[in-house]
Amino acid sequence: MKTRLKRALISALIITIVAGIGVYAYIALVGIIEVGVPEPLSFVGDSDFELELYPGESEAVSITIANESSADLDVDLAYTVSPDPTGHLSVSIPKKITAPGNGEVTFEVTVTISKSATPGAYGISYEIIR
């Protein structure tokens, strides 16, 4: 009978120790990782330009963007003109470019004014979309 009691006490003690260590180990291993994801693309140099073109003239501006990510990023390029130029102004811009990882890419935006353009001011807004 004494041996049974000893075994029962030892078993209860082992269960208590194992359960206690399990609870302690769970609490000791809880942690939090916070991850921020910044925008990796930025302009290098000017991103705003003023052009003064006479009818029939054309001019190109170079725009450079940097990619701080280690991965290459494919981006789409788009633009809008305001007010609507109704054929008096055309814009040439690539549709897609790849910004190399930890590098820079330069693209050109060419603006052409038709010979029949009437004087006025237009705003060209370009977007880099990823």
DSSP state for residue 26 in the 8-state scheme: H
Write down the pLDDT at residue 22. 56
Alpha-helix runs per DSSP H in 29-120: none
Residue 24 has pLDDT above 70, yes or no: no
Q: Measure the CA–CA gap between 12 and 19, rounded to whole angstroms.
A: 10
0.75 exceeded by the pTM? no
| Close Cβ partners of 74 (under 8 Å, ≥ 6 residues apart) | 96, 97, 98, 99, 130
Given a contact cutoff of 8 angstroms between Cβ atoms, the answer to whether 81 and 59 are in contact is no
Write down the pLDDT at residue 113. 94
> Average pLDDT of the chain?
87
Write down the pLDDT at residue 20. 61
Query: Each residue of 46-82: pLDDT tens digit?
Result: 999 999 999 999 999 999 999 999 999 999 999 999 8
Largest Cα–Cα distance in the chain? 113
Q: Give percent of the chain above pLDDT 90.
A: 64
**Across-strand partners of 41?**
67
Position 110 confidence tier, pLDDT thresholds 50, 70, 90: very high
Structure tokens at 19: 């359960």
Residue 98 has pLDDT above 80, yes or no: yes
